[in-house]
Structure 1
Amino acid sequence: MMFDSIYIPSLYVIKGIIILDNDGNRLLSK
């Protein structure tokens, strides 16, 4: 289950990047 503890946070990071990307450069340039 070690991969799960690494993979699950990765999904949140990827989703966060997608959300930032969809929201525009305003949050990216924070």
Structure 2
Amino acid sequence: MIIFWQSICVLFGEIISKCNRYFLIWNVEP
């Protein structure tokens, strides 16, 4: 179960980092 939750945390971390990059791009280029 611990490995399962760790994989989910990593997956969400990658999604959040990608979303942050897209938001930064949108903020820089309106």
TM-score normalised per structure 2 = 0.70
Would you say 1:20 and 2:22 are equivalent positions?
A: yes
Instruction: List 4+ stretches of structure 1 deviating above 3 A.
Output: none
Higher relative contact order (CA 8 A, sep 6+): 1
Task: Determine the structure 2 residue equivalent to 1:28.
Answer: none
Question: 5+ residue gaps in structure 2?
Answer: none
How many residues are matched?
Answer: 25
What is the RMSD of the two structures over their aligned residues, measured on CA atoms?
A: 1.3
When Rg is computed on C-alpha atoms for both structures, the one with the higher figure is: 2
Q: Percent identity?
A: 16
